[in-house]
Every structure is written in structure tokens, then in C-alpha cells.
Amino acid sequence: MRRHNRARLVAEAAKLNRKEERKLAEGGLGVSDEEKLKVAKVIIGERIRRRLSQTALARRLGVTQQQVSKLENGNFDNLGTLQKVLSVLGYHVRVSAIPLHRETHAHSSRN
């Protein structure tokens, strides 16, 4: 049984790498997508390192396996769930506000 779980976790990691390579090849990653991908890789990597399935991690967190899957695919619609998952894995969420246009920000701060 353990051998089967390990093989499944290795397959999940390989799937992530293929998905990442496809996105990079398509040129579809913006800055925010790249950041999402980094966080998703942390979640998957830590889950695999701890030998947890998505279902096992979800049970620990009190969320559904589907919610864990969404996070691992870079869907961070629920910041609370993201924070919960990262906390269990030994990480925290850092959110920052970055001005869209420096000139607008600089102009408004002078007034």
C-alpha cells in the first residue's frame, strides 16, 4: 500500500512539472500567474514531502479534497483556505499592495 501511495505522489509531482512546462511554453504566465505557480509548487512539494495525499491533507484542514486541488492548481479564490493550508505546512501568507502606476502614486502622495 505504501509503495502505491509513493508512486502516486511521484506521478503527481511529474504531472505538475509537465503542466508548468506547458504554461511556460505557451507564454501564458503573467507575473501573478508565476507567483501563483510558485505557491502551488510549495503546497504540492510540502504535501508530497510529508507523504500526504490531497484527501489526507484536506481531512487535517477540515476542507474538501477539491479545495486542496484548486489551491494546487493556482486557484486562490479563498485566501482563508490558502492561509490554512500553508500554515499546516509551516508557511504563512504575505499580502502586499503594489501601485499600478508609480506616477499616479507619486503624484497623489505629493498632494
* Extents of the domains making up the chain: 2-110
Task: Please name which of 55, 56, 42 lies closest in space to residue 89, comparing C-alpha atoms.
Answer: 42
**pLDDT higher than 60, residue 18:** yes
Query: What is residue 69's DSSP assignment?
Result: H
**pLDDT higher than 50, residue 105:** no
How confident is the model over 23-39, as a mean pLDDT?
Answer: 66
**pLDDT higher than 70, residue 111:** no
CATH of domain 2-110: 1.10.260.40
- 65-101 tens-digit pLDDT: 999 999 999 888 878 888 999 999 999 988 878 788 7
In DSSP notation, 7-54 reads HHHHHHHHHHHHHHHHHHHHT---HHHHHHHHHHHHHHHHHHHTT--H
Give this prediction's pTM. Answer: 0.62
| pLDDT confidence tier of residue 34, bands split at 50, 70 and 90 | confident
Based on C-alpha coordinates, what's the Rg of the chain? 17
Q: Under 8 Å CB-to-CB from 55, ≥6 apart: which residues?
A: 65, 68
**pLDDT higher than 90, residue 48:** yes
| pLDDT confidence tier of residue 33, bands split at 50, 70 and 90 | confident
How confident is the model over 47-53, as a mean pLDDT?
Answer: 95
Task: Please name which of 68, 49, 71 lies closest in space to residue 60, comparing C-alpha atoms.
Answer: 68
